[in-house]
Each structure stands twice: as C-alpha cells, then as structure tokens.
Amino acid sequence: MSIGHTLLGLLESGPRHGYELKRAFDETFGHDRPLHYGQVYSTMSRLLKNGLVEVDGIEAGSGPERKRYAITDAGVTDMERWLATPQKPEEYLQSALYTKVVLALLTHRDAGDVLDTQRSEHLRSMRILTDRKRKGDLADQLICDHALFHLEADLRWLEMTAARLDKLREAVAR
C-alpha cells in the first residue's frame, strides 16, 4: 500500500493535521497495522517537498506547532494517476511454502508433515478471519474476504502438492 497516496486521498476531503491523518488512516485502513506518527510526518514532509501538499495553516499549542496540510493540484493529479494505474498482481513465485516442502524432501524429512502443519495454520487463520468478518463492518468484511481468498488458494496448493508429493520427491532427488 502506498502510504503517501493514501494520505493524499484522505486530504482530498479537506485539510487536516498530521494526527488527524493518522487517526483517519488507522480507522479506515490500519486495523491490523496502525500507522506510526513518525511515518505520517516523514511522509508528509516528502509530499510537501514534492509539491503534492502544502501547509494550509500552523497553530501554536502547548506542545510543538501543529501544521495543517492540504492537497495541491499536483497532488490531486498524482492521486488520479495512481488510482488509474493497475496494481501489479502478486504472483508468489518465490513461495516459502514451496521452499519448505522441497527442503524437507532434500533433507529426507517428512514433507507431508510440513504440508499438514501448514494446512492447520491456514485453517486456524481462516477461522479467525471468518469470525472477524462476521463481526466487522463492510470495510473489515472486504479486507477479510481478500485475505480468505488468498488463504483458500494456498490451501488448494497444499492439497495439490500433497497429491503430487511422490512425483516431487522423484524430481528433487535427481
């Protein structure tokens, strides 16, 4: 996820202070990985330097000055370009799961145990996500669906690999 573009998108609704951006980010996108304040301010500094945001006002308080940021026309254009650019699909061609199975075979360990252990972990994660989805709002439901679909694909791969384990054992033994 592009933190910079996410913050730009949040600024399109109007100027905000850094702490307001962090709160909006965390509420909308950061359920599992809240943004650190330092990341907000370093990102805002970079966006400011690149002319994508501007300081809309500065307020003095009991602590440090609070800057209110606003998106610039260049920021809106950059945001539109980012939204229109398709995300590169993650192809997972360097899978840790595959590596573990092959290494288990190469080291004469039980690759079936590796697959079974991983299957159990995937099912545990799926139960947690399904419960979260059931209790969550629409945004949480969509995020959980995305994760669940990836886990389902992994489970299909685990089953397919288990069915082909003898052939894989022969292939890596050469």
Model confidence pLDDT, tens digit, residues 55-78? 998 887 777 778 899 999 999 999
Q: Which residue has the tokens 């002319």?
A: 51
Model confidence pLDDT, tens digit, residues 146-166? 999 999 999 999 999 999 999
Q: What mean pLDDT is reported for the chain?
A: 90
Question: How far, in Å, are 27, 112, 161 from residue 102 at the CA level?
Answer: 41, 11, 11
Q: 31 falls in which pLDDT band (50, 70, 90)?
A: confident
> What is the secondary structure of 131-173 as a DSSP string?
HHHHHS-HHHHHHHHHHHHHHHHHHHHHHHHHHTHHHHHHHHH
Residue 113: pLDDT over 80: yes
The helices-and-strands tally (H runs, E runs) of the chain is: 8, 3
Q: 1 falls in which pLDDT band (50, 70, 90)?
A: low
